[in-house]
Structure 1
Amino acid sequence: MRAAGVESFKLHDCRHFFASGLIAAGCDVVTVQRALGYQSASVTLNTYSHLWPNADDRTRSATAGLMQEVAGDSADFPRTAAAE
């Protein structure tokens, strides 16, 4: 660990990494709860609720997707370009 430059790493940190990866991939609370073996979803939420996207996050993501589609190459770009 010293050679790799990793400081104070605990095996339990892998559990948090796993949970945050599941949440980032879009897994719901119950899925994460079951994967971690928690008794209830409330334990999962008490620990990881700050990692799930909120309404503001979803709004920003939707806006970014919309702007990318308007400004970038959309799926029907070849069809609309050929018609012009």
Structure 2
Amino acid sequence: MSAHGADGGWRFTGEGDQPPHQNTVGHRWRTAITAAGVPGLGLHDLRHFYASGLITSGCDVVTVQRALGHSSATTTLNTYSHLWPTAEDRTRRAAEQLFADSCGLGADSSTSTSC
């Protein structure tokens, strides 16, 4: 996600046409979470939510690295490697899907265990 809008300007502006100061962003965030009744939710938590959502959706490490602006894939892997599925996870999902397909079950019914 780019910090710039389609017109090339900043998505969120502060003074003039510049990005807002980090203190302004922090203040707006704290005001918003207090109003929403969810204290303790940090702005950085949104970054982790975004990263985990990309990984869950099947994005590869380089895609997540670029989306987060990490300088290297190593940085991304050091933080999020535990979220990528293992070979065992992929095998389990494939076996579940094979079973569901062979029983004529839809994709939503793949948790059923009887034909």
TM-score calculated relative to the size of structure 1: 0.79
CA RMSD across the alignment = 1.6
Matched with 1:22 is 54
Number of residue pairs matched? 74
Match of 2:86 among 54, 57, 71: 54
* Structure 1 or 2: more helix by fraction: 1
1:45 aligns with 2:72: no
Matched with 1:32 is 64
Over the matched positions of the two proteins, sequence identity in percent amounts to: 64
- Aligned partner of 2:40: which letter? S
Distance 1:71 1:11, change over 3 A: same
Higher relative contact order (CA 8 A, sep 6+): 1
CA deviations 1:20-48 (Å, max 9, x no partner) are: 00000000000000000000000000000
TM-score calculated relative to the size of structure 2: 0.59
